[in-house]
Structure 1
Amino acid sequence: MKIVVIGGTGLIGSKLVTKLTEHGHEAVAAAPGTGVNTLTGEGLAEVLAGANAVVDVSNSPSFERAAVLEFFETSTRNLLAAEAAAGVGHHVAVSIVGTERMPENGYFAAKIAQEKLIEKSSIPFSLVHATQFFEFAHGIADESTVDGKVHVAPVRFQPIAGDDVAQAVGRTAAGAPLNGRVEVAGPEQFRMDEFFRQALAAWGDPREVVTDPHARYFGSELSEYSLVPVDRAASGQIRYLDWLKATAT
């Protein structure tokens, strides 16, 4: 089947295109660099011709509250309209576990708005909610650094490898629309502060990790279950330290 991957040249998108191709699908990477722009609509009609499914793993170039909301609302409206015109039968979007539990977070609020547009559209859909990617751990640590120390809340944390996310998204895209969501998380659950102590030690990073119940996660204070699935979720296979060793080599 022909599956168009919006954001197909990015972290998850490029992995997804590779996995879909390996499984015999016609996977097409669509991004501004390939002549497809969901904000302007450029190239959408052409790339969606004959597509059975579309997977949206695109991301906003700016995380400023108004900008990220504008990105997801505009790009999703344009994409859904083009899919309807092309007769696409399955729209898949990647979102984040816990979006509905932190609506005060600008990025999470924008993802909620995106999901509402998808749910109200005429296109059969599937939403894949994933936990934080291993690949973003350095960025989370940097964002959490105050005066040279990494301040992290002692809450549950269950990150996942990008390859496992791509595997789950590809399986979803090739299947029947869920008209609902599936959640996917890593195979190990940690206390977030302990995860970053172990991670920084493995990185050889000398920064001290401070356990801080009021530490902010990209502007939001966390509760115990803010970032992890509270119901059953599909589990990835790759453990963090194994992933770290593999990527180091």
Structure 2
Amino acid sequence: MTTALITGATAGIGAAFARRLAEDGHDLVLVARDTERLTAAAGQLAERFGVHTEVLAADLATEAGIGAVEERLRQAERPVGILVNNAGFGNKGAYLDVPLEQELDMVKVHIEAVLRLTGAAVPGMRERGFGGVVNVASVGAFVPRGTYGASKAWMVSFTLGVARDLTGSGVRLLALCPGFTRTEFHQRAEMGTGNIPRWAWLSADRVVDEALRDLARGRSLSVPSKRYKMVVALARLLPAGGLGGFSSKAARTYRTG
């Protein structure tokens, strides 16, 4: 088994990836901003699954944070064979209501960090003849709303393009586009979710299960659950902004990693 590096690894979808990959026997490099939580999570996973774990505290909204993760991805010792770009966040409110520096942070995390970390990981994977990159986007990529939807749409387009470029190399890329997923971040951000129907919610474990299954099948796009596959299909058929009401519900403040 290879080593997997996961950003935003201490909660939500990132933590579910860490559990599943450790259960499958992969060593882990866990990346997030909170050193204490990272250390606790790494210890629990090592004890439960008997895998080697590393922690790397890094804020991917900063140059230093991205650079530190790039450096780890390029290391020849314990090379990273699976990269999960999961760290991300959303800004509450319409475009002009959000401070520009927060929007620029989002571009840094969702676009620049994904671009640079993928670029740091893939050359070694290609040289070894195998590897995988999962970029956690969102159904919001297809029902865009402001910078969040635009950045996730970029992530999907980037992933599909690079996946095509690497055809036959043994390296697979997957854009993961979940809908509403139950994590602790809604409560931490004090977000109201009462207007979101129960049918709309997915579990983080289900999202990860479907993502890894699609990655193994060689797919480059994963939309977990039939209900969200239907949302994406409708979004592609309707005029731009046709599902704006749905996407506006997703414009809640949350952050992973």
- Tell me the TM-score normalized by structure 1: 0.59
Is 1:42 the counterpart of 2:68? The answer is yes
Q: What displacement does 1:73 show?
A: 1.4
What letter matches 2:176 in structure 1?
V
What letter matches 1:35 in structure 2?
L
SS in 2 for 1:92: strand
Partner of 1:26: 27
> Quick one: distance in 1 between partners of 2:73 and 2:120?
10
Partner of 2:221: 181
How do 1:78-117 residues align onto structure 2 when only pairs under 5 Å count?
78-87=116-125, 89-101=131-143, 103-117=144-158
Alpha-carbon displacement from aligned partner over 1:220-249 (angstroms, at most 9, x marks no partner): 94159x98xxxxxxxxxxxxxxxxxxxxxx
Instruction: Decide which structure has the larger Cα Rg and report it.
Output: 1
Identity of aligned residues (%): 16
- Unaligned 5+ residue runs, structure 2? 36-54, 93-101, 167-171, 229-242, 251-257
Q: What displacement does 1:139 show?
A: 7.3
Taking CA–CA contacts closer than 8 Å with sequence separation of 6 or more, which of the two structures ends up with the larger relative contact order? 2
> Alignment partner for residue 181 of structure 2, among 133, 151, 160?
133
How do 1:130-209 residues align onto structure 2 when only pairs under 5 Å count?
130-135=178-183, 138=187, 142-143=191-192, 152=195, 158-173=200-215, 175-178=216-219, 180-185=220-225
Change (3 A) 1:82 1:132: same
Residue-pair matches, total: 185
- Tell me the TM-score normalized by structure 2: 0.58
Superposed CA RMSD: 3.6
> Quick one: distance in 2 between partners of 1:187 and 1:115?
19
Q: What displacement does 1:77 show?
A: 1.6
Alpha-carbon displacement from aligned partner over 1:131-152 (angstroms, at most 9, x marks no partner): 10123665798357xxxxx6x4
Q: CA contact under 8 A between 1:20 and 1:170: conserved in structure 2? A: no
Alpha-carbon displacement from aligned partner over 1:68-113 (angstroms, at most 9, x marks no partner): 1232111012112101332253211122224222x23321111112
> Quick one: distance in 1 between partners of 2:90 and 2:221?
25
What letter matches 1:105 in structure 2?
G
Q: Which has the higher helix share?
A: 2
Q: What displacement does 1:58 show?
A: 1.1
> Quick one: distance in 2 between partners of 1:223 and 1:30?
31
What letter matches 2:157 in structure 1?
K
Is 1:6 the counterpart of 2:54? The answer is no
> Quick one: distance in 1 between partners of 2:179 and 2:21?
22
Change (3 A) 1:156 1:65: farther
SS in 1 for 2:177: strand
Q: CA contact under 8 A between 2:141 and 2:150: conserved in structure 1? A: yes
What letter matches 1:58 in structure 2?
A
